[in-house]
Amino acid sequence: MAPFDKNPRDPLHGVTLETILKELVARHGWPKLGHFLPIRCFKWDPSIKSSLTFLRKTPWARKKVEAWYISELPREKR
């Protein structure tokens, strides 16, 4: 088994944080992201770049975004 195949059942395997964020913004928009995840980078002057910077530096916020993304995946992809 190759090193990158450590957990083939991981729903986030091969999905970048940027992809996750762009999909959530496309589905819900910044206002809904800011409402459900009260993070400053989603509420005031939001952008993909500033949000990615924050999420990469802040593990608890990244986990919340990833959990929301996973909760919206179809059952067979989880």
Q: Which two tokens stand for residue 35?
A: 């409402």
Convert the pLDDT of each residue in 49-78 to its tens digit.
999 999 999 999 999 999 999 999 876 555
Percent of the chain predicted with pLDDT > 90? 73
Given pLDDT bands bounded at 50, 70 and 90, which one contains residue 7?
low
C-alpha 58 chain-centroid distance: 12
Decide: 78 and 70 in contact? Cβ < 8 Å. yes
pLDDT in tens, 33-53: 999 999 999 999 999 999 999
**For the chain, which domains are there?**
16-73 (1.10.720.30)
Name the 3-class secondary structure at 29.
helix
| 4 pLDDT higher than 70 | no
